Amino acid sequence: MIHEILPVGILQCNCSIFGDEASREAIVIDPGDDVEEIVNILNRNGLTVKAIVITHAHIDHVAGAAKLRGLTQAPVYMNERDISLLNMLKAQAAWLNVPPPEQTTVDVPASEGQILKLGPVDFEILDTPGHTEGSISVWIPAENKLIAGDTLFRESIGRTDLPGGNSRKILASIRSKLFALPDDVLVIPGHGDTTTIGHEKQRNPFLRGL
C-alpha cells in the first residue's frame, strides 16, 4: 500500500494519500489545501482517486475537497452531523482571516462501521465525536494504522471549545473506540507527529486514568 502524508495549508493539516499498487486506485483523507501538491503525488504514483474522506468539517481539513472533487470526480464522504459546520465555512475562513474556499458537496454520509475498500484493504469508519459532532476516524486493520483527525494527537487531544465541541464526548470516543485498538497501531493525527495507541495510553497527559 502506498501511503504519503502531506501537511497542507497554513495549519499544516496532515493529508493522507493511500494508493493500491495493483488497481492504482487511491483514497485521499483530509485534502485541507494545497490540492496541486496532492495531485502531483497522485500523478507521480499513477493513482486515480476513488474516494475523498473528510474527518471533520473544520476548514483546515475540508477546504481543498471541492477542488479535488472537481478534478477527480471522486465522491466526498463526511459525517452528516458536521454539515452545519460545513455550512459555516465562510465564518471559519473569517476566524482565520483567509479567503473562503468553495464549499464541497457531500456525496456519501460517512457513519460508524462503514467500510471503504481500496484493493483488498478495508478502511473502516469509526464515529469519534467530541472535537466536532461529526468527527470520524479511519481504522485500517491490514495496515495497522489509524487516521485520527483532530480527535487524538501525540500527547494531546483535539480542542473542544469550538462550535460542536464536547470534552466529555471526546474522552468517551478515545476510550471506547481508539483505546480499544491494539497498542502497536500507528496513529496519524490531524496535525503533527505520528504516535501509537500504546504511547498515548502511557504518556498522554489529557488521558491519565482513562
Residue type, 133: E
The distance of closest approach from Cβ of residue 74 to Zn ion in the complex, given in angstroms and rounded to an integer, is 22
Which of 58, 67, 177, 191 forms a contact with Zn ion (CB under 5 A)? 58
Report d(CA 35, CA 49) in Å as an integer.
13
Q: 55 near 81, Cβ under 8 Å?
A: no
Work out whether 150 is an interface residue with Zn ion (CB under 5 A): yes
Position 69 contacts Zn ion (CB under 5 A):
no
Q: Residue 59: which H helix or E strand, with range? A: helix 59-62
User: CB under 8 Å to 97, separation ≥6 — which residues?
Assistant: none
Q: Which stretch binds Zn ion (CB under 5 A): 24-32, 47-55, 58-66, 111-119?
A: 58-66
Please identify, using beta-carbon distances, which residue of 14 and 204 lies nearer to Zn ion: 14
* DSSP 3-state of 191: strand
Judged by CB under 5 A, the stretch of 23-31, 100-108, 150-158, 191-199 that binds Zn ion is 150-158
- Angle, in degrees to the nearest 10, between helices 65-72 and 35-44: 40
State yes or no: residue 82 binds Zn ion (CB under 5 A).
no
CB of 58 to Zn ion, least distance (A): 3
Q: Which residues bind Zn ion (CB under 5 A)?
A: 58, 150
